[in-house]
A and B are shown apart, each in its own frame.
Chain A
């Protein structure tokens, strides 16, 4: 009964376009009112909204959002693109590869896929069009490649997963994200190469690639940020939150002082955009805090796991079912709410099957990142299409090989936990 009320109210509100966070809270309230008096229920929910975000670890999120904006607009993205050009620009299909590598590089200094889409896409989509690629294909490449930033650290969604999973180490998650992120990057390059070969695009006739050393030197200050942030976190020098503050400071100095591509008055709109993104994510976290409390109180995860385990006791089949559900969820829900809602439901099941919370988190985020590029709801897809100025229906054909690439990378990651667990084990983080 309680789960019918909870999920029923939630889905009805979701369908009529009530913000997800409000849908979660109202559904939780409706369920609580079955057993609890009104005033205590309202007060508990109000308290969860405030206390749910009262965490020093969560502060890393606004910092990585802010540094992402600063890097995107402050000339750092452009230098990473120049560097990517000397790496892969001369290969056949060069600019498509440059786009993918640039997204991965941008992902390795910022934490959000949307930031990567606008920073890299805003530059690469017109550049690719100039070299003879179609706008829809260039957009499809950008939106799928931008999602690698969610796996390649630093990553905001991994911080959120750490919270939702009840404390998997952020440092271990960050390191675990590298290999799967690079795997997706490699598969996306293959997907792009396949599409280019299949459609016979004759492109890159006039591409100019800079010299290796100057481009590398140009990118070194940006690349050093990776060493600073990730090295600092793994080495235990500072917490992810402090690393975020350092990333903000570092990109401020680069953008304002060294590259001089931003002025102090540009900071106001950037700060406001950061507030917007932060508030949206935090409101969802506060809302989900009460819902996941209620679900565990009502033993809803146990009920779901019992019914799943009655279908089969085979770990692979259960994993397959969970992944199919997540793929479906991902098409209509953004990653943040999906992680916050489904981690408390699925993680206990995964642990029963001896899947480590670390591996499960990476798998789940890789899975949900596919949904970010699919209609009807996909924030990265929407941002990419508005930057590429193409309609969603136009990019559906060129994006299919990219979906296939992501799904293959997901399948490999599911089958081989070593892909996510190898590096953290090597560094003694798990």
Chain B
């Protein structure tokens, strides 16, 4: 508990900085594409691919962070109507399900996906980046989901800790 409590704030800060930087780079990257297309004789070809890879990373890492901040879209109508004990149990069940999803799909499925892609030596057509590096974000975000999920589980001991899911 204490270990996680110490890690979470630092992790959040790092993750936020990383995500904001990637978003800024994404904007610069596509802006550069527009500029090269209109001004320079040869439009840049790497920008489109790079932008797509940034989007994949931002989406998955951002999803893990959005899980932590309770920002994902959901249906909280019933959960809000429940008695406090039932609400805590349901919230715990929800966290367990998300943890299982993250472990199964993102970590196990993601590691296998990354492994296969490295094994097949798949490279991106323009930049020649091994696609395994792009897909590495899947298991990585899975680990974050699990960490945030475990932290959420520890946090929901009493109903006053139940935060609302807000957009």
**Chain A interfacial positions (CB closer than 8 Å to B):** 13-22, 25-26, 29, 39, 41-47, 49-50, 53-56, 58-59, 62-63, 66, 114, 238, 241-242, 244-246, 248-249, 267-268, 271-272, 274-276, 278-280, 282-284, 286, 332-334, 336-337, 375-377, 379, 382-383
Query: B residues within 8 A CB of A238?
Result: 34, 37
- Are B69 and A276 in touch, CB under 8 angstroms? yes
6 intermolecular pairs with C-beta atoms under 8 Å apart: A14-B74, A21-B72, A43-B116, A46-B135, A53-B55, A271-B19
| Smallest Cβ-Cβ distance to A383: which chain B residue | B167
Supposing A17-B165, A26-B97 touch, asked if A284 and B73 sit within 8 A by C-beta, the answer is yes
CA distance A389 to B7 in the complex (A): 36
Chain B nearest Cβ from A232, distance in angstroms: 10
B:29-86 near A, CB below 8 Å? 30-31, 33-34, 37, 48, 51-53, 55-56, 58-63, 65-67, 69, 71-79
Q: How large is the interface on B (under 10, 10 to 19, 20 to 34, 35 or more residues)?
A: 35 or more
- Are A275 and B19 in touch, CB under 8 angstroms? yes
CA distance A56 to B108 in the complex (A): 28
B120 in the interface (beta carbon within 8 A): no
- Are A66 and B76 in touch, CB under 8 angstroms? no
- Are A55 and B52 in touch, CB under 8 angstroms? yes
- Are A242 and B33 in touch, CB under 8 angstroms? yes
Query: B residues within 8 A CB of A53?
Result: 55-56, 59
CA distance A336 to B167 in the complex (A): 13
**Contact with B109, one of A22, A42, A276 (Cβ below 8 angstroms):** A42
Supposing A18-B94, A271-B20 touch, asked if A59 and B51 sit within 8 A by C-beta, the answer is yes
- Are B31 and A245 in touch, CB under 8 angstroms? yes
- Are A50 and B20 in touch, CB under 8 angstroms? no
- Are B137 and A50 in touch, CB under 8 angstroms? yes
Q: Given contacts A42-B104, A279-B65, A382-B167, list 16 more A-B pairs with CB under 8 A.
A: A17-B76, A17-B165, A25-B101, A26-B101, A42-B109, A46-B135, A49-B60, A50-B60, A59-B52, A62-B23, A63-B27, A242-B30, A271-B23, A275-B19, A280-B63, A283-B72
Query: B residues within 8 A CB of A16?
Result: 78-79, 90, 93-94
CA distance A20 to B109 in the complex (A): 20
- Are B90 and A283 in touch, CB under 8 angstroms? no
**Contact with A43, one of B63, B67, B72, B112 (Cβ below 8 angstroms):** B112
B:84-112 near A, CB below 8 Å? 90-91, 93-94, 97-98, 101, 104-106, 108-110, 112
**Contact with B105, one of A29, A59, A284, A332 (Cβ below 8 angstroms):** A29
Query: A residues within 8 A CB of B90?
Result: 16-17
| Smallest Cβ-Cβ distance to A380: which chain B residue | B167
B1 in the interface (beta carbon within 8 A): no
CA distance A379 to B105 in the complex (A): 28
- Are A58 and B55 in touch, CB under 8 angstroms? yes
- Are B77 and A20 in touch, CB under 8 angstroms? no
- Are A20 and B73 in touch, CB under 8 angstroms? yes
| Smallest Cβ-Cβ distance to B75: which chain A residue | A14
- Are B62 and A46 in touch, CB under 8 angstroms? no
CA distance A282 to B166 in the complex (A): 17
Chain A nearest Cβ from B137, distance in angstroms: 7
Query: A residues within 8 A CB of B26?
Result: 59, 62
Query: B residues within 8 A CB of A332?
Result: 75, 77
Interface centre among A22, A50, A53, A383, by most B CB within 10 Å? A50
- Are B24 and A271 in touch, CB under 8 angstroms? yes
- Are B134 and A22 in touch, CB under 8 angstroms? no
- Are B56 and A54 in touch, CB under 8 angstroms? yes
Query: B residues within 8 A CB of A41?
Result: 109
CA distance A54 to B91 in the complex (A): 32
Query: B residues within 8 A CB of A286?
Result: 59
B16 in the interface (beta carbon within 8 A): yes
Interface centre among B34, B90, B112, B166, by most A CB within 10 Å? B34
B150 in the interface (beta carbon within 8 A): no
Supposing A20-B73, A29-B104, A46-B138 touch, asked if A279 and B63 sit within 8 A by C-beta, the answer is yes
- Are A283 and B59 in touch, CB under 8 angstroms? yes
Query: A residues within 8 A CB of B59?
Result: 53, 278-279, 282-283, 286
